[in-house]
Amino acid sequence: MNFDYDIAVIGGGPGGYVAAIRAAQLGAKVALIEKDQLGGTCLNRGCIPTKALLAAAGKLNAIKEAKSFGIEVGEARPDLAKMIKRKNDIVRRLKNGVGYVVQKNGITIYAKQAAFVDEHTLDLEGEQISSAKFIIATGSSPRSLFLGDDGGRLINSDQLLDWQEIPSRLAIIGGGVIGVEFAQIFHSLGSQVTIIEIEEQILPGIDWEVTAKLGQILKKRGIKLLTGSRITEIEGKDHAALLEVDLPDGSADTFEAELVLCATGRKPYFDGLNLDVSGVAYNPAGIPVDKNLLTNQPHIAAIGDVTGGIQLAHFASAQGLAAAEFLMGSQVTGNLTVIPSCIYGDPEVATVGLSQEQVEAAGIAWAKAVFPMQACGKAMAMSETDGFCKLIFDPADHTILGAYILAPHATDLIAEIALAMVNDLKLENIGKTIHPHPTISETLMEAAHLAEGRPIHIV
């Protein structure tokens, strides 16, 4: 049977457009269907916009702290509207770049909603195309809450990214990655921030030593953390919202916030795809896939957030490469088992591999080495000594099981550990590698030395 395309990719986010480019590189005739904007959530409403605002908040904090470095400056005042404009300019330039490279790879772009007509045909708002194979990469959307008449004060992260005024009081429902990053942004801009998290710690699933230390740092700066707490009602007022919260001791708290951010996570998005006629199995948790990222239909793959798995842009991109290579009959070149995760702010958090809780639960023999930033010369010079580098390893053969870094530039440093784990390197390989001085990267080497029982700058 003749088809219009070899591969049709539905969704132009960091998984979809990468998959489309790789398939085209391997000789496929490719269609990329994106009903909204190329780059998806990450580029337009997630990773890049939040990092642009975090960078602005970081500059503001640096000015406020300049006196401690011996620099006298005047009062610094944030202009959120200008920050939003800068953020939008960055997004636009990157989005244009994505469009350029996609087109240069000979990929046909359809800016339309896709809906399956049958197992090999899509309807694109009245136009039909056929394809031998498909990759579904439609991503996720913010979860919503209904807790009463909030008077328009309850918003999601997409809306907050374009908010033009700094709220005097911001309540954040959810202490995960999204909640913690926005809390640091708006606290730096001058908002009184309260995080309400139902679990016993912020950043659920992250190593407890990291979350405990980060929680201390945030509280010291003035961010209020209500962990083990559940919000029960939001009532909109004239210029604020009244929140009722059940606390872990059984009591209740009531307080006002000018704005309430719902940061309770994201859910797989496949609205309008008409998956039933494609034969693809799915459920509210996502589209199940096998080790080759195939759905129950062998000619249809799914990648990224829509599968209900790990929601990280770089993981979606890696899956996109792998799915395109597998569908094209090429050797799959990537590794989908070692997945670094990053949380941005001050300090940054970066993780890879297993946590202390996970190795304990699995009954794996383990040990740890923790090197504090207080013993790092570069961190001291930067006045950023809160945090540590933690390596989790097999005490018998020094295999690296995981790493957790709470430090400046942690999100850059974690790649070294990921590289080591992918290539089956041991602690000794980290320890015997000369790391430049003075740098934060030295803490990885120092932690490896500590694990080997031969520490230099710590006793």
C-alpha R_g of the chain: 24
Q: What are phi and psi of 9, to 5 degrees?
A: -105, 125
Note whether 196 and 226 are within 8 A (CB): yes
Catalytic pick from 239, 437, 449, 457?
A: 437
Note whether 152 and 236 are within 8 A (CB): yes
Q: Which two tokens stand for residue 286?
A: 């996502």
CB-side exposure of 22: number of CA atoms within 13 Å?
A: 26
- Give the CA diameter of the chain: 74
Give the list of residues 6+ apart from residue 71 with CB closer than 8 angstroms, or none.
none
Q: How far is CA 276 from CA 10, 41, 114, 116, 302, in A?
A: 16, 25, 13, 8, 15
Is 314 one of the catalytic residues? no
Note whether 122 and 33 are within 8 A (CB): yes
**How many other C-beta atoms lie within 10 A of the C-beta of residue 149?**
13
Give the list of residues 6+ apart from residue 324 with CB closer than 8 angstroms, or none.
7, 19, 20, 22, 23, 26, 28, 135
Q: Taking each helix axis from N to C terminus, what angle separates 80-104 and 47-64, rounded to the nearest 10 degrees?
A: 140
Residues recognised as catalytic: 437
